Amino acid sequence: MKTMKMNILNLFLIFGFFWVSLNGNSQDIKLSRQELKEVRKAQMVANFNILDSLLSAKSFVLEADFLQNKYGYRIPVTQFLNFVKVDVSNGILQTGSNFGMGYNGVGGVTAEGSVGGWEIDKDYKKLVFRLQFNLTTNLGNFDIYMIVTSDNHATATITGTGSGKLTWEGHLETINNSRVFKGQDTF
């Protein structure tokens, strides 16, 4: 009889612990709209600080999801072939395609050269960076104007000596995390 009371007591204890753990884990904490807004703002400020260190170190890659010409035609592109890379004093602009060979061996053009005229404007209120620099390459001089938002959306508009312009639209990566493939230098 004593063992039966002990087994029933143990069974009730086990069931009780099980029931408590189920109730403890099933409660979801719901944040109010204001709390969600504050959490989102804190995340954006943290992202802004991370992007600030990337841009200040002049060490990043803009991997393009889309290219857009001066007429507004926007096409999706392969990220690892279409990029703008800045590594301290060197820079690379590249367009590429999975369907052709092109001048650079990856269906487009690659221009590599030295970075100069670096100017960065930080908008702490809107959490946006505006970056301007030039790239001197064997294909000519290019002016690059970038806008980077704290949600890591980046656009880079490149103009050369001619009337054309091309816009890379994508996101920033660190050089170590980037998977870009550089084709052969054009010319």
**Do the domain assignments include residue 146?**
yes
Q: Looking at the domain assignment, is residue 38 inside a domain?
A: no
Q: Alpha-carbon distance 174 to 117, whole Å?
A: 22
The mean pLDDT value of the chain amounts to 85
pLDDT of residue 54: 92
- Asked, for residue 69, whether it belongs to a domain, the answer is yes
User: Is residue 6 domain-resident?
Assistant: no
User: Which residue segment(s) compose the domain that 124 sits in?
Assistant: 58-173
| pLDDT > 90 fraction of the chain, expressed in percent and rounded | 61
Is residue 30 in a domain?
no
pLDDT at 36: 87
**Average confidence (pLDDT) over 96-114:** 85
Burial status of residue 115 (CB atoms within 10 A of its CB: 0-12, 13-18, 19 or more):
middle
Residue 136 near residue 35 (C-beta atoms within 8 A): no
Q: Is residue 71 included in any domain, yes or no?
A: yes
pTM of the entire predicted model: 0.79
Q: Categorize the per-residue pLDDT at 107 as very low, low, confident or very high, splitting at 50, 70 and 90.
A: confident
Residue 11: inside a domain, yes or no?
no
Looking at the domain assignment, is residue 112 inside a domain?
Answer: yes
pLDDT value at residue 105? 81
> CA nearest 143: which of 155, 161, 126, 129?
161
Domain count within the chain? 1
Q: Indicate which CATH number applies to the domain containing 122.
A: 2.40.128.410
Nearest to 145 by CA among 161, 122, 129, 162: 129
pLDDT at 50 over 50: yes
Residue 167 binned pLDDT confidence (cut-offs 50, 70, 90): very high
Whether the pLDDT of residue 183 is over 60: the answer is yes
DSSP-based helix, strand, coil % in the chain, nearest 5: 25, 40, 35
20 or 101, greater pLDDT = 101
Predicted local confidence at residue 118, as pLDDT:
95
